[in-house]
């Protein structure tokens, strides 16, 4: 498992700079202004910093971007990263600066000279997030990343300020690790085991096995995994950090550890990417880890349905009719539209058990959302303007792309079945919307609810600002922010 960097915050002492090895990072403020640490580096490097920032290239840089002095004279450091950042940077600019430093440092020992820089803890978070690498399955031993220190004027205050940021990084890394794992490693059993280990942080974790799920009537969820040798499970994580008895907020995640499509088999090309089809459950797990790590003063439950969708002699077939926990019957038209079958039962269980004050489900649910929104935004569907707006505000603050999509009764006509209460698909037109309409049938009218279709953002084939290729951890920051801003006591 990957752990985020743990930066050391040390007191500003310009006399130490000359002997620092590895890579240094300094910050240049408005109109080329330097603080004491940058001035010290400039003097030691015989004016190299001043000459660099006077050049046309540095002037054209956006805030949070940088240039590198590869051969700084009169310094033990092998390079100096010169970062352009206003004296009063926004959160976005500070995190971008951290990401830039991480990429340019390349894992070498790093000393970030912040002095009295505002939002240094956000720089540290950006650096931590972009330092992620998933290398668990390489046989060649990788060089351990170098130590990271931040030289700041008030180290005790900065250490305290970074504590919540460290919890966010922990949650994001947990989500990325889960999403990146191959399916032969992250089986339903192994996934559940890793969630049970979160009890060390104070979460209460319950694993429900197939026998209990059948007793509850979860025929919709169970039909998805009946063709696999891996047992289907539902895992419930409780964090009760607010007043006892207060109703919680609920997160629900789709956890299909591998999706072949079942009898409605997917094409071979690209099927290897379906290890990420548990991305919704991965985000729920990461959010719950973050909330527990920072001891959030809120009551929150995270529920994930863990299944594997495989073709076999026992697999659910197109045309089969199954009965959900709610009691509604579903004609399975396409076994590759399995995520909604999993979520239907877990959503109903969450409401019956906890009567949540609000509920958000996450799922890599449809390819249609990628056609509509690409890899920049998750699709947001909701029965509540208040909850949708609160989430979109949180996502905007954290710069995690999200866009609200329409819903409406007219779309329900596409789900009509000849032999059951509904079909599990509504055809190609508005495919992501009809999926949301299906899920809404398992949401009680009094429950504020959002469905987040994260198929386009959970795992991507090119690096993003805060992540390398692969799993992004999208959603952990936004959902943590949603709870912090709206549900903490």
> pLDDT tens, 323-375?
999 999 999 999 999 999 999 999 999 999 999 999 999 999 999 999 999 99
Position 367 scores a pLDDT of 97
> pLDDT tens, 76-123?
999 999 999 998 999 999 999 999 999 999 999 999 999 999 999 999
Q: Span 230-246, mean pLDDT?
A: 97
User: Where in the sequence numbering do the catalytic residues fall?
Assistant: 266, 340
State CA 452 to chain mean position distance. Answer: 12
What count of residues does the chain have?
A: 489
How many CB atoms lie under 10 A from the CB of residue 52?
A: 18
CA distance 410 to 425: 15
pLDDT at 379 over 90: yes
Position 3 scores a pLDDT of 85
> pLDDT tens, 278-293?
999 999 999 999 999 9
> pLDDT tens, 128-166?
999 999 998 998 877 788 999 999 999 999 999 999 999
> Euclidean distance between the first and final Cα of the chain, in Å?
33
CA distance 347 to 328: 13
Contact yes or no for 473/235 (Cβ under 8 A): no
What band does 2 get if pLDDT is binned at 50, 70 and 90?
Answer: confident
What band does 43 get if pLDDT is binned at 50, 70 and 90?
Answer: very high
DSSP 269: T
């Amino acid at each position: 498992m990957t752990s985020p960097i743990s930066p050391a915050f040390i007191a500003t002492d310009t006399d130490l700079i000359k002997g620092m090895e590895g890579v240094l990072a300094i910050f240049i403020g408005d109109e080329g202004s330097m603080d004491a640490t940058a001035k010290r580096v400039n003097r030691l490097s015989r004016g190299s910093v001043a000459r660099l920032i006077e050049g046309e290239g540095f002037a054209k840089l956006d805030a949070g971007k940088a240039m590198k002095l590869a051969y700084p004279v009169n310094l033990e450091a092998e390079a100096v990263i010169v970062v352009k950042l206003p004296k009063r940077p926004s959160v976005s600019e500070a995190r971008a600066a951290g990401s830039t430093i991480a990429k340019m440092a390349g894992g070498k020992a790093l000393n970030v000279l912040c002095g009295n820089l505002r939002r240094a803890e956000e720089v540290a978070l950006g650096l931590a997030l972009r330092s992620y690498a998933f290398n668990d399955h390489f046989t060649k031993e990788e060089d351990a990343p170098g130590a990271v220190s931040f030289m700041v004027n008030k180290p005790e205050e900065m250490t305290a300020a970074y504590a919540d940021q460290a919890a966010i990084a922990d949650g994001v890394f947990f989500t990325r690790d889960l999403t990146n794992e191959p399916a032969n490693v992250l089986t339903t059993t192994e996934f559940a085991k890793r969630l049970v280990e979160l009890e060390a942080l104070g979460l209460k974790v319950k694993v429900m096995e197939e026998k209990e799920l059948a007793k509850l009537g979860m025929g919709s969820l169970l039909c998805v995994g009946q063709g696999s040798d891996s047992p289907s499970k539902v895992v419930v994580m409780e964090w009760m950090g607010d007043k006892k008895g207060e109703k919680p907020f609920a997160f629900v995640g789709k956890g299909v550890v591998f999706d072949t499509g079942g009898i409605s088999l997917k094409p071979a090309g690209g099927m290897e990417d379906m290890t990420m089809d548990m991305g919704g459950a991965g985000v729920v797990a990461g959010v719950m880890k973050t909330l527990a790590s920072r001891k959030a003063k809120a009551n929150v439950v995270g529920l994930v349905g863990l299944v594997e969708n495989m073709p076999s002699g026992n697999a659910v077939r197109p045309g089969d009719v199954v009965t959900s926990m709610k009691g509604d019957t579903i004609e399975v038209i396409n076994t590759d539209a399995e995520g909604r079958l999993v979520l239907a039962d877990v959503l109903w269980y969450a409401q019956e058990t906890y009567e949540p004050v609000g509920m958000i489900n996450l799922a890599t649910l449809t390819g249609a959302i990628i056609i509509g929104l690409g890899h920049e935004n998750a699709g947001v569907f909701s029965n509540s303007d208040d909850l949708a707006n609160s989430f979109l505000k949180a996502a905007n603050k954290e710069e995690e792309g999200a866009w609200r999509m329409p819903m409406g009764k007219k779309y329900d006509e596409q789900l009509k079945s000849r032999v059951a209460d509904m079909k599990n698909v509504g055809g190609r037109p508005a495919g992501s919307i009809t999926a949301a309409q299906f899920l809404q049938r398992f949401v009680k009218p009094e429950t504020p609810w959002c469905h987040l279709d994260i198929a386009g953002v959970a795992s991507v084939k090119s690096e993003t600002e805060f992540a390398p290729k692969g799993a992004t951890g999208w959603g952990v920051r936004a959902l943590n922010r949603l709870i912090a801003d709206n549900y903490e006591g």
